[in-house]
Amino acid sequence: VSTVRIAVDLLGGDSAPAVVVDGALQACRADPGLQLLLVGPASAADGMLHALEPGLREQVDVRAVAASAAPVRGTGRGVNTTVRAAVRAVADGSADAVLSAGPTGATVSAAALGLGRSPGVRRPALAATLPTAAGRLVLLDVGSSVDANPATLAGHAVLGAAYGAVSLGLAAPRVGLLSIGTEPGKGDGVRRAAHPLLDELSLPAGAGYVGLIEGNHVVAGDRADVVVTDGFTGNVLLKGLEAAFDLGGVRPVDAPPRAATLLGVAGTVVVCHGAAVPADVASGLALAARLHRTTAVARLTDLITAGGIEMPENPRGDA
Amino acid sequence: VSTVRIAVDLLGGDSAPAVVVDGALQACRADPGLQLLLVGPASAADGMLHALEPGLREQVDVRAVAASAAPVRGTGRGVNTTVRAAVRAVADGSADAVLSAGPTGATVSAAALGLGRSPGVRRPALAATLPTAAGRLVLLDVGSSVDANPATLAGHAVLGAAYGAVSLGLAAPRVGLLSIGTEPGKGDGVRRAAHPLLDELSLPAGAGYVGLIEGNHVVAGDRADVVVTDGFTGNVLLKGLEAAFDLGGVRPVDAPPRAATLLGVAGTVVVCHGAAVPADVASGLALAARLHRTTAVARLTDLITAGGIEMPENPRGDA
């Protein structure tokens, strides 16, 4: 396997750095091509390096950030500093991808500022992959655009369609808008305004808009391969479904990673839940490695620009 | 058991009247005290009465509505007529409760207009009971208030706390606000504005506000017994979780009914999903019977008014 260098935010997550380190080591054992750059305060990083089993020492390096970046619980101050430094490692060419389990908002702004947005994208979107009765689907956004307007949802549809093609290998993905009924007109004001926008939208990768779908269709996977929603609804649903799958023992061995990909920025960025366990961090690192090895971001951007797809305009002009 | 008379909207639901009739018969077999008044076009009702097994004939009666009330698919026109007639049966004293699997909006307006709202309530809320790893919890709203403002969410907290006490027998229910993180400030604009309102609110039944919770806590049931959200998010989450529980085979024999109770109207109103199967309709009828037999609506209203609880004001003044 080819080498992939991933910058890891050592302070991201509720139980950082312990969970992040455990997840990093799991990932290294599973993938000898992984080269991790742990970004955090020297104190945390050094202790970890000393405890490393010899076989893994060559896969792990450390980038120390100033002691003032120590996290202040509840403020996300230190976390913001480490995620920004981790993003910088990608921007300066020291890493191929970045992973954080820190606050989503901090990671999204660090990535948008540090790597830049993809052409035409105003609102990056976090895309999660979920297991369904029929296979897998892409749900987006799961936490970035919490007060989304209709144009933002239309932008998610474009990004999600391209990601479904690139990441799940879907030909002509079916794109659905998550709502509370399937007949046009069902939903809140944002959904009622977004539906006609999506209906007229040109989508990449031969994707087609299938209309409104409901929460149960996200589990069945029968109506859509890409499910578009705002970051509030998507985050609530994702966390609820993951917990329900765990309770029911549904999670298969080849379950999709419990990590989300940030779409619409010019780099490979993976986000884990703040309450991620080491296996989740490891699955996020494996996802980041796969995205880099398959040049997913470049292919996604190509599908959109080469397809002549225009990103929907945001009439209010907010970023 | 005491007799309970329930008016049933024969045309409510995607597969009405067949599913409604099957569910009604299941419920009658399980509860000899049930007395159902099927409200619908004479054609549908007559065919059904003829097919009745003799033992059930005394439990089922029919109220025919004009043939013009035949449903027009997509418009909800006929459905609206039958649900209004079913509500009228409660208002005129011919029934003790009403059940519909028709469009939620039509049922809520028919009930609010036909039965009146409870004192101080501007926005009725649909409350569902969900199984959790820890037991059961109340989730509201699940489809009525789709564009909820902060005051509406505060009103849901009052209604939900009283319902948790009356329906689940909870002493001092813990009330949580569904969001995308647990620290204050997490969430969209509506949640950020609702959190301080809830924090200052007097709740009935000794209930206490525990702050923000996330989607996974709805499955765990560890942080809150009553989960407050808007009707859009609640509907998406409810349908997703029910499908995930089914996929995982989690649904226990004593699972809570797959039906929601309309809170804040002066009568017993139960709503089933449009895609309800006969067992769901039967569970909804059993729920309606239990609510009536335990005088739940009167006790809920008492908890709020006798407790001197003021329903939160809606600053925008919308209904």
Chain B 86-115, CB below 8 Å of chain A: which residues? 103
Q: Is a pLDDT exceeding 60 seen at residue B74?
A: no
Chain B 49-78, CB below 8 Å of chain A: which residues? 74
**For A266, what's the count of Cα atoms within 13 Å in the CB-facing half-sphere?**
12
Q: What is the DSSP string of A38-60?
A: EEEEHHHHHHHHHHS-GGGGGGE
Comparing CB atoms, the residue among B187, B231, B250 nearest residue A247 is B250
Helix or strand (DSSP H, E) at A130:
strand A125-131
Strand B125-131 versus strand B208-213 pairing type: unpaired
Distance CA A152, CA A149 (A): 5
**Closest listed residue to residue B156, CA positions, set B221, B85, B107, B207:** B207
Comparing CB atoms, the residue among B178, B233, B248 nearest residue A248 is B248
> Could you tell me if B8 and B89 are in contact, meaning their C-beta atoms sit under 8 angstroms apart?
no
* B134 touches A: beta carbon within 8 Å: no
Amino acid code (one letter) for A74 = G
B198 phi and psi angles, rounded to 5 deg: -65, -35
What's the mean pLDDT in B235-244? Answer: 96
Q: Is a pLDDT exceeding 90 seen at residue B73?
A: no
What's the mean pLDDT in B181-192? Answer: 94
Residues of B in contact with A193 (CB under 8 A): none
Distance CA B157, CA B153 (A): 6
Beta-carbon separation of A236 and B235 below 8 A? no
> How far does B91 lie from chain A, in Å, by closest CA?
29
Mean pLDDT of chain B: 91
Position B298 scores a pLDDT of 96
Q: Give the angle subtended at the CA of B195 by the CAs of B190 and B200, to the nearest 5°.
A: 135
Chain B 7-26, CB below 8 Å of chain A: which residues? none
Can you list the residues of chain A whose pLDDT is less than 70?
67-80, 250-253, 314-319
* A214 touches B: beta carbon within 8 Å: yes
Structure tokens that stand for A84 in this block: 């920004």
Interface pTM, i.e. ipTM: 0.93
* Band of residue B78 on the pLDDT scale cut at 50, 70, 90: low
Q: Is a pLDDT exceeding 80 seen at residue B46?
A: no
Structure tokens that stand for A233 in this block: 């609804």
Position A16 scores a pLDDT of 86
Q: Which of B75, B104, B236 to mutate to test the interface with A (most CBs of A within 10 A)?
A: B236
**Closest listed residue to residue A186, CA positions, set A207, A215, A157, A161:** A215
Distance CA B163, CA B139 (A): 10
Chain A 162-201, CB below 8 Å of chain B: which residues? 178-181, 183, 187-189, 191
Position A209 scores a pLDDT of 98
Position B318 scores a pLDDT of 46
A239 phi and psi angles, rounded to 5 deg: -65, -35
Q: Which of A140-149, B39-48, B126-135 has the lowest mean pLDDT?
A: B39-48
> Could you tell me if B161 and B179 are in contact, meaning their C-beta atoms sit under 8 angstroms apart?
no
Q: pLDDT by residue (tens digit) across A179-199?
A: 999 998 999 999 999 999 999
Predicted TM-score (pTM) of the model is: 0.94
